[in-house]
Each structure stands twice: as C-alpha cells, then as structure tokens.
Amino acid sequence: MMAHLTAVFIVPMPMPGSPNAPHFKGQCVTDFFDSLEAHTSATNVPLNELPAYVLCYCHRRICNIIGS
C-alpha cells in the first residue's frame, strides 16, 4: 500500500504597499473588501480574522479617521 503525500503551500499576505496588495484610499470600499477577502482566503486566514488586516491595508489618512 502506498502512502499519499499532500503538499501544503503557505502563501503569506502581501506586504502592505506592495504592488499586488489591497489598498483602501477612501473610495470603492466594496472592491477593497472583496480584494482583501480574496487575499485572506488564498492565504487560509480565517474570515473572523479579516478585521485585523483592515488597517494594515488602509491609507494613513483613513487609519487616522478610523482610529479617532
């Protein structure tokens, strides 16, 4: 009997500011969240951890607004 091996590749979230990273500048919030959700899904980040990534991919001005 042969054992089956399964390879698991862990894909990290893109670095904020990198060309393929989601980025929210204050417009098209649905597009931003769709992109962020697609990235987290591809990296096996559980959906309940998605909020922790929001500010990482927002423009500094947006972070200041959300933080205040």
Q: Could you tell me if residue 20 is inside a domain?
A: no
| pLDDT number for residue 4 | 76
* pTM as predicted: 0.74
Residue bearing tokens 């649905």? 30
Instruction: State how far the Cα of 18 lies from the Cα of 24, in Å rounded to an integer.
Output: 13
Domain count, the chain: 1
Domain of residue 53 covers: 29-67
Instruction: State how far the Cα of 16 lies from the Cα of 13, in Å rounded to an integer.
Output: 9
What SS3 class is residue 66?
Answer: helix
Q: Could you tell me if residue 45 is inside a domain?
A: yes
| pLDDT number for residue 31 | 95
Q: Could you tell me if residue 6 is inside a domain?
A: no
Q: Could you tell me if residue 1 is inside a domain?
A: no
Per-residue pLDDT of the chain (68 residues; tens, 9 = 90+): 667 777 767 778 999 999 989 999 999 999 999 999 999 888 888 888 888 889 999 999 998 988 77
Q: Could you tell me if residue 35 is inside a domain?
A: yes
